[in-house]
Structures are given as C-alpha cells and as structure tokens.
Structure 1
C-alpha cells in the first residue's frame, strides 16, 4: 500500500477496524495489533493497522506458560525494516486493502525457517505489491511448531486452514469472492503454503465456529523457493529440526512432506526457485512439481539460474529473477484468480 494511500486511508481504516472488531475472528472483543516498527519507516512503507485474530477463545493447545511475542529488527538500512517475530501466542492476519478491490485475496505466509516469521521482506512488501494491483492481502502471523503447542508439527497448518476459512467467512466485508482466495508462501512459509494446498481437508483442530464449516482449500497456491521435503539430503535441515525435532521417524517425514501428500483435488500451483539457492535446494521445488504432475494438477514452474535464497522482492532487483511477480500475475489471470 503506497504512502499517499496510507495517509489518506488512516481515518477510513480506523473506522473499519472499529466496525469489524466485534464481528471478525468469531466475535473477538478486540484484535491484536501488529508489532510496531522500531523506528520511523520511509514514506510508502507504513505498517498495517488492521488485523484479524484467528482464534476467538485463544489458540488451541496452548503451552504453559504462553510464549512471549518477541520482535527483532535485523535491518541495517535505516529506510527499510526486516523484522523477525517469534513467540506468537495470538496468531493473526494483518490486512492490506486495495483502493479498488478486484475480488481476489491472497494469504501470505512468510518464511523464517520455523524459528520466526519474517514479516517485512516476505510479508508486508509483497502485500503492498498485491494491494497496489487490486488484491486484498492477508499476512499470516502463524504459530511456530517448536514452542510447545499441542498440535506440534501441525500447528502452522492449523493456523493456515483457519485463516483461509476466516477470509472466506468474512468475504463480504472485504468485497471478495469466497472462491478466489489464494495462498502464497516463501521458504518455510512456502512449506506452510504447500502443506495447506496438500492437506487442506486434514482435520488438525477442532471446529470453533461457523467459519470452520467452510473449505480451507486455496483457489491456487504459490510456494516460492519452498521447503518441501523433510527427508535428507533434500530437506532444509533447520526447518526440519524446528518442525519435527532432532530425530524424526520416516513416518513423520512422510506426513509433513507436501510432495508425498498431494491429493487428487489439489489446487493449481505456481512454483519458483533459483538454482543457486544455497539454503533450500532446488530439488524441493522439483520434487513438488513431479508430484503435482503425477497427479495431473496444473503447475507452472519457473527456475532461475541466479537469485540465491530469500530474494522476495527487494533482493531480486536488478536480476532476471525480478520478473517473477509479473509472471505470477500473468499466471493468476490464466487460472481465473483475477
């Protein structure tokens, strides 16, 4: 969302928040705000102010004591933010509304190796890009599986399923078509995205309200430089350890590798990876592509020779891989998201 829009829309959004707070997230009395920036951000990069809590009575299976939400600012550029958030006890979505909604929504799951959630470069920046093009974007602050939640490795999936259902449940408030709610994720957030696209019908939490009667199947999925396999040597070792523990069984690896769980009704996929990725091997994307193709699922795949890992938008500038958002947008038009 641009700076001019941020300045014009503060009053409008404040009113919207007040009106929606009682109705969203199953009747929660108030929504949990996003973390504040540690310093003033450059014009055009204002933080979102509207949020939706996922769980009206608190997230299920909470540990005792609850994790304490912690924000670390990692940016060295004074004009940019690069926050990592962990200890997320109140999972929620931050909302980026376009001036002219096109009726489509995108749920964004940032990466962070399941150690934290990187909200700026793989969340807010993409959300602003999408909102500028008419999409309503929702950045998901999902719970981390290593912080004691009862659902364990299924904890991020539970939040992603619930988020899709809530967006659909409140589609009218956002001028959305409930059939056009897509998912996009980066790195470990790409695993959340791919896991959602594979196991959207898997029961990983007890229903809490009417929203949970809706489907969690995304219209389409875009796992970007994603963690996919939980089997070594293809697995990203850090994400695997944080998700499954130090010594997962073969059964655990299989249950949490999206390429091994693709259903016949999986949504269309857009896949993206740089072949010089030194963190998450490109084999992860190739494994998912092969599994989708074997199931007859529509899949668009883009591999770039250079780009490294975690390029998002800001680190792709000046490289051929910078074309990827427009490639995604063109693909989205071909599958009816736009």
Structure 2
C-alpha cells in the first residue's frame, strides 16, 4: 500500500524550475529518507505535499487522498520542523494540551504526560519552555508531532542539537512508531542516521530525484567492483601462486600475501566461492571483510556519471 505518491510534480518560480517532474512512491509503514544538498529543491517538494504551496503542474496523493483534498487528511499527519517555536510561559504539558485542543483530540492529562515521557521529557512536564535547551525543544516538538498518532509523520532533522543518549532514544522511538504502521518521511544532514534508520532513500539534485532505493540498491548503483579483504592462515609461496592461479578468473587485481589476500569482484556471489575454495585447501579463514560505500560516499559522489541514468 502506498502512503504518498507524486506524478510529475513540478514547481516553477518564474523561469526557474525548483522541482522538476518528480515521480515518487513511498510504501506505508516504511521509514523514507529524503536527502539533497542545499538548494536541491527538498523544502519546496515538502511544502507542496504538506499543503504549504501549490504545485505548478503534476499531482500527488497522500494517504489515499488527492493533493487538492489535503484538508481531509491533515489530522492524520504529524510534522516536526527543524526549528520549533513555543510560548515561553507555557509548560511542556500546557503546550500539548493547547495543541491537542487545536487538533480536537480527546486526550487525558495522563496520556499527554505519557507522550512527554516517551520523548524523555518526564522530568520537564511542568517546566516552562523559556528554560528549555535547544535539544529539549526538539523533543517537545517531537511529542507535539506524535500526540495525534499520525499515519504519516514528517521529521525534519529530528536529532539535531540533541545529546548522544537522546539520539539513541529518538532512533528507537522512530523504529517503534514505524513498526506500529506509521509512515515516516525523514530528512537529516546526519547521513549515518539515515543509513541506519531508513528502508528507502531518495537523493534530490537540482530539482530531480537522481537516485532512489534501499542502501543495498544504492550501493549496487554506485559500486562497480566490490573490495574484499581476507585474513587467513600463513601459506607457503607455492600455495600463494596456486591461489592466484585458481581464482584469477573470478576476481580482479588480486594481491596474495602469506597471511592475507585482497581482491575485487564484480558480483558478491563470487565471495562464498572463494571462501569455499580456501576451506577446501585447508586454509583457515580468520576474517573476511567486504568494503561497501557508505551513504556519505554515495551522496558526495552523486554527480558522477554512474548516477546520470
């Protein structure tokens, strides 16, 4: 089931096309990472699908409703902006009470307190937000985004300015909310965070979705050859020569030393064959490491030809 889809979604300001014919589908219950450099068109794209600005052309469907019927699904959506602003003389609990009234929710005080505890603000329930740190405000914004138990949750930089322990808690919370069926649309400059959390990732560049897929799919697009390092028994020069000869047809740029070997393969299916060969030759394998590109490497090399399909 699709939670969000766009069809040739486009936004132009004068002669400048900011979002250019974007086609995107996001599965219900998935954690979707949306990345792009500054000026790539991310904010404009998000503003269109959250009803803040109108598309120039194209269309989108959100939670089963066409974009023009956004009001019908607004109550099913939660949003955590990068920067949240609060009334300084309201406590954390008063903010959630106020916001729940806006959303016409029938939540008890204890239920609202539970949401605050969920985001690690249990000790700040009755504390006025003027004394909140940036990280605490981030947590309160997250609580505010969660009180209506949304079907679709937009998280913009959910862990920026938050301490390391709280980051782990927020990550666990994101996974928990997703497991309950909520679709999460996540933007973050923390690429390691996106790599760990997201089921699918899209990278926008100059108004278009330049690549999209799971980390495994993105790595396959990005990496022509897979680098493999094997730590093994110390073997004689005769065995080293035999090893080079036997597997030279399977690998590229093989380097064999007495106690380790390095090589490149085009397909990971070759790796178990090599391991099986070593075991068959009574060569004990102590460590096998496969070097894979991180999301950061893929993101930084986005402009390379292999991505210009």
TM-score class, shorter: under 0.3
TM-score by length of 1: 0.26
TM-score relative to the length of structure 2: 0.28
Higher strand share: 2
